[in-house]
């Protein structure tokens, strides 16, 4: 079992729709959870982080964390073509300070 | 403020040769990480420096890989001798914070290594 699992996609949504990206992780002791966006040929950049169960909203982005289910999600409202990228779920295992990444979900937003 | 810089951006070498990748983290960031992405796979952790000390090198594939961070500033990752399976994009990242709630990782653009 991979430590961080994501559906590789591609996920295709029309412009203006809600894109829902999901991630599960295996280490129940994981402390911190991140969503990075990576455009093709570019480096990953952080868009959201969440530490506590529940929802965290930042503009059009909402991160959701359910530690009991070991599940993290990212919702992108009013999706724009510029949101088309690979979204990486990352989990920090705590203690050893290591951040583990999923393989990423490719998102396409159609104009 | 300059971001994380990596050099070279792309290196093509033959099997058995040596390559050295360099990373300059953001000034003041004590934490420096090396990751590798092989095509189609996840970004895999290689190792973590706190200043000049190796905090965690559990992800280093084998003893052909050697990372250093002399003086706690820039870091180098040497692959010697390179094998075909070492091909991929090597990312360096730095961060200001550490601990259970590790802060944001700032990534460099990556060094693409192709071993022929």
The set of residues, in sequence order, having a beta carbon less than 8 Å from that of B62 and lying 6+ positions away, is none
Output the pLDDT for position B3: 92
Q: Which residues of chain B have pLDDT under 70?
A: 1, 98-103
CA distance B32 to A86: 23
First to last CA, chain A: 37
- For chain A, the residue count is 111
With an 8 Å Cβ cutoff, is A18 touching chain B?
A: no
The partner residue sitting opposite B101, judged by closest CB among A32, A43, A103, is A32
**Interstrand relation of A85-92 and A32-38 (parallel, antiparallel or unpaired):** antiparallel
Mean pLDDT in chain B?
A: 92
**What is chain B's alpha carbon radius of gyration, rounded to the nearest angstrom?**
13
Report pLDDT digits (tens) over A48-107: 999 899 999 999 999 999 999 999 999 999 999 999 999 999 998 766 568 899 999 999
Predicted local confidence at residue B8, as pLDDT: 97
């Amino acid at each position: 079992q991979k430590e961080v699992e994501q559906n590789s996609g591609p996920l295709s949504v029309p412009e203006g729709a809600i894109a829902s990206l999901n991630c599960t992780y295996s280490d129940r002791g994981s402390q911190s959870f991140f969503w990075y966006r990576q455009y093709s040929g570019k480096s990953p950049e952080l868009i959201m982080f969440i530490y506590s169960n529940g929802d965290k909203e930042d503009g059009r982005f909402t991160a959701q964390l359910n530690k009991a289910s070991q599940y993290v999600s990212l919702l992108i409202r009013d999706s724009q073509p510029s949101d088309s990228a690979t979204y990486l779920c990352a989990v920090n295992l705590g203690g050893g300070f290591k951040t583990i990444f999923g393989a990423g979900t490719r998102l396409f937003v159609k104009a | 403020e300059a971001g994380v810089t990596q050099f070279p951006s792309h290196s093509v070498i033959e099997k058995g040769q040596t390559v050295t990748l360099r990373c300059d983290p953001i000034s003041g960031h004590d934490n420096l990480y090396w990751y590798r992405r092989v095509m189609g796979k996840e970004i895999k952790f290689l190792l973590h420096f706190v200043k000049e000390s190796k905090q965690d090198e559990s992800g280093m594939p084998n003893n052909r890989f050697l990372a250093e961070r002399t003086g706690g500033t820039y870091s180098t990752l040497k692959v010697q001798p390179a094998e075909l399976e070492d091909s991929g994009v090597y990312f360096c990242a730095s961060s200001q914070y550490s601990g259970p709630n590790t802060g944001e990782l700032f990534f460099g653009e990556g060094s693409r290594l192709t071993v022929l």
